[in-house]
Every structure is written in C-alpha cells, then in structure tokens.
Structure 1
Amino acid sequence: MSNDRKSIRRKSHGITIDEVASLAKVSPMTVSRVVNGKGNVRDSTRERVMRAVDKLGYTPNLAASTLAAAQNTRIALIYSNPSGAYLRELLVGVLHVASRTAIQLVIDYWDEMDAADERKAARRLAKGVSGVILPPPLCESHAAVQELVKANVPVVAIASGRFHDRISCVHIDEFRAAREMTEHLIAQGHQRIGFIKGRDDMTASELRFEGFRAALEAHGLPLDRHLVQAGNYTYRSGLQAAEKLLSRRVLPSAIFASNDDMAAAAVSVAHRRGLEVPRDLSVVGFDDSSSATTVWPELTTVRQPIGAMADAAVDVLLRSIRSGEQGERSIVDEVFGHQLVERQSVAPPPRTTTGRGRTG
C-alpha cells in the first residue's frame, strides 16, 4: 500500500521568488511582503514588484510563504505521551522542522493533569505562543482545546480523530490499518486472536479495536471478550495484559497489541512462559516505532509516518496562523497513508494452543 499522504501543497510553477526579486531589483523578503499583502513597502516598490510578478507569471510558492510566516513564530508542542518510542520519533520530527523553518519551538510537559489543571495550563500557554501541536493523548483533551480555541490560538492534533470542528488534524486511517493487520493474521490461519487495547479515552484506540472487530466479523469469527484486554500504550500495561491473555487454559494463537511498546511486552511475557515467538505465538504491534526493531523477533506492525506527520503538523499550523492573519483561519483534516510491515513475529498457528508452550 502506498504511504503517500493526501497533500494540501500546490506545485510550483517554476518561477522562484529570487527571480522576481532580481527583476524588480529588491530583496526576496520585499517580494514576500508584497505578495502576502504585508505593509511597510513603498507604493513605487510595490508596483515594481507586481510588474515583475506579472511579467514572469510568478505564482507564490506556499512552502516559501510558510517559511516566511515561520520567522519569529512561537509554536508549542505539549506532551505527556506514555510511549517513549513514539515520543522520541515525534520530537525528532518536530525539531527537524523547527530547525528548517526557523520557528521558535516551545516544549511543554503536562503530567497527570486533571481537566481543571489542563485549562489553567492552556490559558497560560495561549498568552505566549502563536499555535499549539497536541500529540497523543492530549490531542483529544477537550479542556485544553476549548481554552486554546477560546483564546483564538490555532491547534493541530496529531493522530486524533476529528472531534472538534475548529482544530486541524493530522492522522492515518486507524480503523482501516487495524482491520488490515487483523486480516493479515487471519490469512496466516489465526482464528483465536488476543487484542490489547489502547487508552480508552482516545478515538484512535477505539478505531483500532473497531477495525479488529470488523475483520473478525467479515471472516465469520466470533469476538471473544476474554481475549480483549485493556492497555495504556505503556510497556508495563502490555505486560499486565499479556499475562492475562497467556494465563488462559486455551491460549490465543496470536496477539495484536495497539502499539509496539505493548507488543514488545507481550513478546517478553511469551518468552518468560516458555513460548517461542512466532512458532507458538504470533505477536503484532502498531506504529513501527523503535520498539518494533529492538525486540526479538522484530515485530510485524503498522507503520504510520510519525516524522512526516510531525512535519505536516507544523506546516498546517503555520498556514493556519498565516490565514488567520488574513482574517480567515484554515482548518485541515489531513490523512496519511499507512503500511503493513512484515517482519519475523508472525507465523501460522501451532496445532494446539492449550497450556504452556507448543504441545502438538
């Protein structure tokens, strides 16, 4: 499957802002001010620039406009993500964009806040930044979003379903990705599949579970509620969930964990119980974070382009800031492609899944 995202970028028409500046005998920044309707440009200079624009047929490059808008722009990234692997990739992506666009990045850590604390923190933050990026799980904090929207601060949520019509979202199709992964396990012959859910307060968690359930239903397989365990996207919660799944008299032949950290934990529990992955138990994850390739065997997982999503979140946010300055704020719902990555953690099921290890 292609992992190309649906893009809101327009293609350049070939003429650059430097060429316009050269013809008009002004700086590229002056051209930017003119084409973006900014002040502090003499009428004679503005006319000269517009003549050059008309002569060359220049169409403003949105990426360049975004870069110009980034100068002296403070953007906050608020995090409290329990998955260290996911957070590292997200931070690297945002920091890369920050260095390229010259935005001023503010990183704020909110740990174990209730709704009242989140409102206070959002009000404080709104006074000093031009926009906010909300990754999971804060991407669906109603308290924080309401305060930021009230303060007219543009917000981009990463990996969130669209739960508010005044913020932008950057995400993958969680339902479809989870359904495809479940169908991959079923195609290998698995019919008794355990599922470790994510946080129950996140749309993405529910969509992944719904995708899992839809695949079972499409193949005429019953949903065994005893094989569905709660998780919290942390390694420790994955340990606890996997212990419950692998303590049953009849074991699942496969476990689908809602992220790689919990899948890695399931592999660890299987090894401790004398089960060989994937001979006795197949395990799959979600995200394709570093956890997927630091465990043995490496995990089959769903790849969502976390770095590219971070890049897009900054891009969308800068465009929203710029459109707000012009009187109408743009709201974007951008869906990225995902990819099922096959590694060594999946095999056909053993002949029997009763008790410890392979008995058949």
Structure 2
Amino acid sequence: MASRAAGSSAPTIVDVAAQAGVSIKTVSRVLNQEPGVQEKTREQVLKVVAELKYRPKLSARSLAGARSFLIGLLYYDPSAAFVAGVQQGATLRCREAGYHLVVESLHNDAPDIDSQVERVVSALRPDGMVLTPPLCDNPKVLKALRESGTPCVLMSPGRQAKGQASVRMDDVHAAEEVTNLLISLGHERIGFIRGASDQAASGLRYQGFANAMKAHGLGLDPELIQQGDFTFQSGVDGAHQLLSRRVRPTAVFASNDDMALGVLAAAQRLGLAVPSDLSIAGFDDSPAASLVWPPLTTVRQPVDQMARMAVEMLIAANRSDAQPLAESDLHRVLPYELLVRNSTCAPAAKPVTKRK
C-alpha cells in the first residue's frame, strides 16, 4: 500500500482506512478500543496509524460518537502527595485510551459549589468525572452531576451508595493492621492523630485503630487522641500535645504520612530517639515516607491504581456496546500493603515519664 506523500496535509481517518484496507467504522472501533475487531485487523490498523502519525481531532471524534473524550478530575485535598498520585494514575490511563484529563480544584465548603460544577460540566461536556475526597461525599456536587447526566466514579467515598460506581481501599482494616503491628511489638500506650474532620478516611482510620485497641483489651485514653487535619503542622502540634503528657505514649500512629513526618520532627526537636524512645507509624506511603530517617512504617495506599481504575470504569461505560454493571461490579476495592520500616520497634521496658 502506498504511503502518503511527503509534505502533504495531516492524515485523516479516511487515509488510515484506505491504507489499512478497512472501513472507517473499523478504524474508529480500533481507536476507541471497542470489541468486535479481529486481532490481526486491529494490529494492521494500529500499524498504519503509527506509520502515518495519525492523531484524531477531539472535536471530530466527539461529533462522530457524541463523546468529548474528556475525563474530568475534581479535587480538594490538602495533601499534595495524594493529588499527585491521583493525577498521575488518571492521566496515564486517559493517555492510553486516547482521552484527555481535565483537572479542576473546587473548595469543598464553597456555598456555590453546585453552580461551579454545573459551569465545569457545561464548558467541557466530559464523558465522566472522577471525584476525590471530600468532594466525593459532597451532596451538592453529586446532585449537580446527577442532574447533568454526567457519569462519575467516587474515589474513597465514606460509604458505598447503591448504583454509584466507586473505587477504594479498606481503610479500616489497614488501620487495624498498623495498630496490631504496634501492639505486637509490645506497645500499649499508643497515641493517635486523626485526620481532617471533613474527610471520611479520618473516621475510618480511627475506627480501625479503635477496633484493634479494643480487641486487645486496651483502653482508648482521650488524652492520647489528637485532632489533626492531614497537614505536617497539625502532626507537629498533635505530637507536642501527646509528648507533653506526664506519661508519654511509647508509639504514635498518625492518620497520614504528612502528620507522621510532623510527629517525627517534633520528637527530634524534643531530643527523643526514634524508634527507641518513640515509635511512629503513618499512612499512605507518600514519597517522603521512605526518604526521611528513620524511614516511616506506613500503609501503601494504591492511589494511582485507584485513579486508573476510576478512569477505566468511565471509559468502559461510554463504549457503544457497554452493558449496565451488576451492583457488585460497581464497587471496586483494591489491596493495600503494610510497609514495616525503621520508625517502629519494641518499646522500652517502662513508659517514658516526662520530667517535671
């Protein structure tokens, strides 16, 4: 088959179809990753696409299939590491499927947040939206998307809603596993720093901590529970409160790594050795968790894989042959991993008593 002449205008889908010896509809199916195309034909079309360096125009694709080939990502989260992981996973999956990701930041407490969502949807006409915490639990956001007819997938929602697609990990069991680790090392006086009150993960992780403590017959001392907001500074502040007690905790479990790093900084400023004087555990496995000394014991939350899965669910729902998913398939739970590092060890024989 003859290739296009040098210097000619940009190749079109007609050129691809002609050179591959297939119909335009077949080329469209291959580009949209739809079934019903023989593997040999699919390979031939992709080969021609690469040879001609064909790039479909989003506007043309949208007109042809009533789709925009845009996926929206709405976020409001103080943790830069979490947002970066979500964007990376979602962007890569969009790129693989020929979609584009559009990222919008919305303030969860904005009084007109529903109007903001409506404007975004009206301007972009996305094929779907990925919602991260706490927006995924905001009734105004969910109502605006529902009324606009925009499909959405919720990442780490507080609860599972019937008929609403979601992707999450088991925060409760993961927090139980961290707490069980600290108890197995011999810790009984364990401090806990909660996350932001407007995020469901905060309550779920505290629930896991409380479950493990109760299962081992250990009390929940209110003086050893501090409220944070998932930021480094709230970890520092919470640690100073915990470590100012007459009988200090021998371990501190912070609800995310940013706060755990704050605990580590506070302990070092107070002259405490980690982990011999104080064990510290976090949650998320942010990039910094393995770079500090000692590296943090933490839970690896599969943020990028969760984002990829959310995008894949939206893409699949927009395919021409898409079938409604069973309720059990609407809710995906991805595995986490407990990473035991040098920030935790067995406690000293007796709890450390602060000098007056």
Query: d(CA) in 1 for partners of 2:96 and 2:67?
Result: 11
Alpha-carbon deviation of 1:294? 2.7
Report the equivalent of 2:300. 303
Indicate how the Cα distance of structure 1 residues 329 and 220 shifts in structure 2: closer, same or farther if over 3 A, else same: closer
The answer to whether the aligner puts 1:91 opposite 2:87 as a matched pair is: yes
Q: Indicate whether 1:343 and 2:341 are aligned.
A: yes
Relative to the length of structure 2, the TM-score reads: 0.79
Q: Please name the residue that 2:156 is paired with.
A: 159
SS state at 1:133 partner: strand
Query: What is the SS of the residue equivalent to 2:253?
Result: strand
Measured in 1, the distance between the counterparts of 2:326 and 2:89 equals 23
Distance 1:353 1:92, change over 3 A: same
Deviations 1:174-214 (A, max 9, x none): 11111111000000000010111112233222111111111
- The residue matched to 2:144 in structure 1 has which SS? helix
Distance of 2:322 and 2:345 partners within structure 1: 56
Give me the whole-angstrom Cα distance separating, in 1, the residues matched to 2:340 and 2:354.
26
Aligned residue runs from structure 1 range 53-72, under 5 A: 72=68
Among candidates 340, 349, 352, match of residue 350 of structure 2 = 352
Q: Deviations over 1:333-352 (max 9, x none)?
A: 10001111011000101223
Aligned to 1:227: 224
Classify the secondary structure of the residue corresponding to 2:319.
helix
Contact 2:282 2:299 in 1 (8 A): yes
Match of 1:208 in 2: 205
1:82 equivalenced with 2:82 (yes/no): no
What does residue 291 of structure 2 align with?
294
**Corresponding residue for residue 59 of structure 1:** none
Cα deviation, 1:40-80, whole Å, max 9, x if unaligned, reads xxxxxxxxx98x97xx9xxxxxxxxxxx9998411111122
Q: Which residue of 1 aligns with 2:6?
A: none
Question: What's the offset of the Cα at 1:112?
Answer: 5.7
Q: Distance in 1 between matches of 2:292 and 2:261?
A: 6
1:79-158 matches, cutoff 5 A: 79-111=75-107, 113-114=109-110, 116-127=111-122, 128=124, 129-158=126-155
Provide, for residues 116-173 of structure 1, a one-character-per-residue CA deviation record: whole Å limited to 9, x for no partner.
3211111112222221111122221221111111211111111223343343111111
Q: 1:27 to 1:292 in 2, by over 3 A?
A: farther
Flag the 1:310–1:326 CA change in 2: closer, same or farther, 3 A: closer
Code of the aligned partner of 1:130:
D
Partner of 2:112: helix, strand, or coil? helix
Please tell me the residue identity of whatever aligns with 2:114.
Answer: R
Among 250, 255, 260, the residue aligned to 1:258: 255
Distance 2:338 2:66 in 1: 35
* C-alpha RMSD over aligned residues: 3.2
Deviates more, 1:261-270 or 1:301-310: 301-310
Aligned equivalents of 1:88, 1:33: Cα separation in 2: 32
Residues 327 and 99 (structure 1), Cα distance of their counterparts in 2 relative to 1, 3 Å cut: closer
Residue type of the alignment partner of 1:228: I
Match of 1:194 among 191, 196, 206: 191
Q: Which moved more, 1:154-163 or 1:335-344?
A: 154-163
- Paired with 1:113 and 1:205, the residues of 2 have a C-alpha distance of 18
Contact kept? 2:213, 2:220, Cα under 8 Å: yes
- Length, aligned pairs only: 311
Q: Distance in 2 between matches of 1:256 and 1:341?
A: 14
Unpaired segments ≥5 residues, structure 2: 1-16, 42-60
* Larger relative contact order (CA 8 Å, sep ≥ 6): 1
Could you say what secondary structure the match of 1:212 adopts? helix
Alpha-carbon displacement from aligned partner over 1:237-286 (angstroms, at most 9, x marks no partner): 21111111111111111011111101111000110111111010000011
Letter in 2 for 1:240: D
CA displacement, residues 58-105 of structure 1 (integer Å, 9 cap, x when unaligned)? xxxxxxxxxx99984111111221011222222222222222222121
Gaps of 5+ in 1: 1-20, 39-48, 57-67
